[in-house]
C-alpha cells in the first residue's frame, strides 16, 4: 500500500475516483487492523487544490463518512515534503552578507510558502499539540504572502534543517460555538436602527419609471415634434435562473446550485463570506424558512434525506456534490426536491444589493421570516456585491457567530 500510494503521489491518482476507503485485514483475514482512506488537510488543502490524500489509520467500526471527519495536520520534514510534493527552496537569514543555512525563514513550494507560525494566533476546535522536535507552520499562497495580508501573525521565529514541520494553521471564517449572542437583542438592535422589516413589504421610495425626450425641428413657419419614451429593461442572472427553475422543470440544472451565489452574514459579528448556493440552502435561516411553510412532501423519506444532505453539505463544503448525486439518483424524488428548492429561491429573490444597502433574509426561529438591510455607509464591503447579467447575489443573515479570532482586522464576537 505504501509503495502504491507513494508512486501515485508522483504519477496519477491512487485508487478509483469513486472509492473513499479500503479496509486492510489482519492475520487470517478475521480482523480489520487498518483503514486506508481519503482525508483533507487544513491549510495544505489549498496547496493541493482541494484534493484529498490517502491516509493510513487504525481501523474503527465508526462508519462516518469523510465529510464528517476533521481536517488533518501534516507532520513531516522538509526533505520528505519536497520528495512527495516538491520541489522546495529555502530562504535563509542573511548574516555578514552570506546566507545562514541554519536559520531558515521559509520554504517556497508550489504557488506558496511554508513559514513558522505563532501558536497564540491560531485557534481551532481540532488543535494539535507540538512534539519537542516539531515547529508549528502554515502554508500560505504567494498572493496573500506578498500582499502581506496577515502582518500581525508573522511569528519572527526561524526554522532549522533538523525541524519536523507541523503544518496545520487554518485562517478561515468559522463559527464560534462559545458565542452567547441573544437573538432577541439582535432583533431589537436591527429594529432600533430601522434595518428590520417584514417579508413582502417595501419602504416608500422614488424610482425612475420612464424618461421622455422631446425633439423639435422648427424651420420658419413650421415645427415638428417627436417624443421618445424610455423604460428600464433588463433581466439579471438571478431572476433568469429563478424563473427558469420555477417554470421549466425539464431544464433545471442542479450544478448551478453549486455556484458561489450565496452570501452569509453573521448576526453577531456582521462578518460575511461567499457560500455555494447549496450550502446557503442548508443554513438555519433557509431550513427554518422552508419548514415554516405548509409544504407537502409526497415522500417522507425524500424529506428526511433532503434535509440530511443539506445539513451535511453546509457543515462541510467539500461535499457540495452530494446534493447533485441525490437529485440525479432518485428520479421519483425530483418533483419534491424541485418544489422545495423553488420555495427557497423565491424567498431569496428580493435579497441582494439595492440603492440603500444589502438586503438579507433572516429566519432565526419558527416565527415568520424578516428582511434586514445593511447600509453601505456602515458596511463598505457590501458595495462589492451586485446583481447583473453575469453576477448573482443571494444573501441571508445567519443566527451564528462567524469570526476569525486570530486576526484583528475583522470584527470579533460581541457576546
Could you report the per-residue pLDDT of 249-288, keeping only the tens digit for each?
A: 888 999 999 999 999 999 888 888 898 999 999 999 999 9
Q: Are residues 318 and 293 in the same domain?
A: yes
Q: What pLDDT sits at residue 28?
A: 57
Q: Are residues 306 and 190 in the same domain?
A: yes
> Which residue range(s) make up the domain with 394?
186-199+234-403
Q: What pLDDT sits at residue 290?
A: 92
413 belongs to a structural domain: no
374 belongs to a structural domain: yes
219 belongs to a structural domain: no
Q: Are residues 47 and 105 in the same domain?
A: no
SS3 of 181-211: the string is: CCHHHHHHHHHHCCCEEECCCCCCCCCCCEE
Q: Are residues 274 and 343 in the same domain?
A: yes
Q: What pLDDT sits at residue 132?
A: 75
Closest CA to 360 of 242, 349, 194, 240: 349
151 belongs to a structural domain: yes
Q: What pLDDT sits at residue 66?
A: 47
Q: What pLDDT sits at residue 340?
A: 93
Is the pLDDT assigned to residue 200 strictly greater than 80? no
Domain boundary among 72, 98, 115: 72
Is the pLDDT assigned to residue 410 strictly greater than 60? no
CA dist 68 and 4 (Å) reads: 26
Is the pLDDT assigned to residue 344 strictly greater than 90? yes
Share of the chain above pLDDT 90, in %: 20
> Where does the pLDDT of residue 151 fall: very low under 50, low under 70, confident under 90, or very high at 90 and above?
very low
> Where does the pLDDT of residue 381 fall: very low under 50, low under 70, confident under 90, or very high at 90 and above?
confident
Q: What pLDDT sits at residue 321?
A: 81
In contact, 282 and 322? CB cutoff 8 Å: no
More confident residue, 183 or 107: 107
- Give whole-number Cα distances, 383 to 114, 237, 376, in Å: 34, 18, 6
Q: What pLDDT sits at residue 134?
A: 85
Q: Are residues 246 and 301 in the same domain?
A: yes
Q: Are residues 299 and 350 in the same domain?
A: yes
217 belongs to a structural domain: no
Q: Are residues 244 and 392 in the same domain?
A: yes
Is the pLDDT assigned to residue 404 strictly greater than 80? no
Number of domains in the chain: 3
411 belongs to a structural domain: no
Q: Are residues 65 and 99 in the same domain?
A: no
Q: Are residues 28 and 80 in the same domain?
A: no
In contact, 127 and 72? CB cutoff 8 Å: no
372 belongs to a structural domain: yes
Highest mean pLDDT (candidates 30-44, 109-123, 280-294)? 280-294
CA dist 159 and 79 (Å) reads: 13
Q: Are residues 98 and 243 in the same domain?
A: no
Q: Are residues 41 and 89 in the same domain?
A: no
Domain boundary among 19, 46, 72: 72
pTM over the 0.85 mark: no
Q: Are residues 122 and 255 in the same domain?
A: no
Domain boundary among 51, 72, 93: 72
Is the pLDDT assigned to residue 343 strictly greater than 80? yes
Amino acid at each position: 500500500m505504501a509503495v502504491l500510494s507513494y508512486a501515485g503521489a508522483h504519477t496519477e491518482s491512487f485508487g478509483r475516483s469513486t472509492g473513499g476507503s479500503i479496509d486492510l485485514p489482519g492475520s487470517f483475514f478475521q480482523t480489520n487492523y487498518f483503514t486506508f482512506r481519503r482525508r483533507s488537510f487544513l491549510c495544505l488543502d489549498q496547496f493541493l487544490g482541494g484534493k484529498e490524500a490517502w491516509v493510513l489509520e487504525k481501523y474503527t467500526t465508526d462508519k462516518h463518512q469523510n465529510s464528517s471527519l476533521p481536517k488533518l495536520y501534516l507532520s513531516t520534514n522538509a526533505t520528505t515534503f519536497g520528495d512527495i510534493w516538491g520541489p522546495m527552496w529555502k530562504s535563509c537569514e542573511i548574516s555578514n552578507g552570506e546566507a545562514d543555512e541554519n536559520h531558515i525563514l521559509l520554504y517556497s513550494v508550489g504557488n506558496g510558502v511554508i513559514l513558522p507560525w505563532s501558536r497564540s494566533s491560531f485557534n481551532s476546535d481540532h488543535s494539535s499539540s507540538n512534539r519537542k522536535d516539531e515547529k508549528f507552520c502554515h502554508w500560505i499562497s504567494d498572493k496573500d504572502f506578498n500582499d502581506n495580508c496577515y502582518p500581525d501573525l508573522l511569528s519572527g521565529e526561524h526554522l532549522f534543517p533538523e525541524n519536523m514541520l507541523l503544518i496545520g494553521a487554518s485562517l478561515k471564517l468559522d463559527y464560534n460555538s462559545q458565542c452567547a449572542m441573544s437573538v432577541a437583542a439582535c432583533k431589537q438592535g436591527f429594529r432600533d436602527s430601522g434595518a428590520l422589516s417584514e417579508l413582502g413589504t417595501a419602504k416608500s421610495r422614488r424610482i425612475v419609471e420612464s424618461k421622455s425626450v422631446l425633439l423639435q425641428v422648427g424651420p420658419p413657419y413650421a415645427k415638428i415634434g417627436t417624443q421618445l419614451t424610455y423604460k428600464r429593461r433588463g433581466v439579471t442572472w438571478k431572476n433568469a435562473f429563478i424563473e427558469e427553475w420555477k417554470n421549466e422543470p425539464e431544464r433545471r440544472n442542479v450544478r448551478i446550485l453549486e455556484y458561489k451565489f450565496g452570501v452569509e452574514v453573521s448576526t453577531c459579528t456582521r462578518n460575511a463570506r461567499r457560500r455555494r448556493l447549496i450550502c446557503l440552502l442548508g443554513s438555519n435561516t433557509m431550513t427554518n424558512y422552508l419548514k415554516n411553510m405548509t409544504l407537502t412532501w409526497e415522500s417522507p423519506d425524500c424529506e428526511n434525506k433532503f434535509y440530511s444532505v443539506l445539513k451535511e453539505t453546509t457543515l462541510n463544503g467539500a461535499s457540495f456534490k452530494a446534493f447533485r448525486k441525490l437529485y440525479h439518483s432518485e428520479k421519483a424524488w425530483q418533483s419534491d426536491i424541485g418544489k422545495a428548492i423553488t420555495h427557497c429561491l423565491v424567498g431569496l429573490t428580493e435579497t441582494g444589493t439595492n440603492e440603500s444597502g444589502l438586503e438579507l433574509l433572516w429566519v432565526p426561529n419558527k416565527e415568520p421570516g424578516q428582511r434586514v438591510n445593511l447600509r453601505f455607509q456602515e458596511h463598505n464591503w457590501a458595495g462589492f456585491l451586485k446583481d447583473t447579467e453575469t453576477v448573482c447575489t443571494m444573501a441571508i443573515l445567519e443566527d451564528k457567530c462567524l469570526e476569525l479570532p486570530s486576526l484583528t482586522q475583522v470584527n470579533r464576537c460581541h457576546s
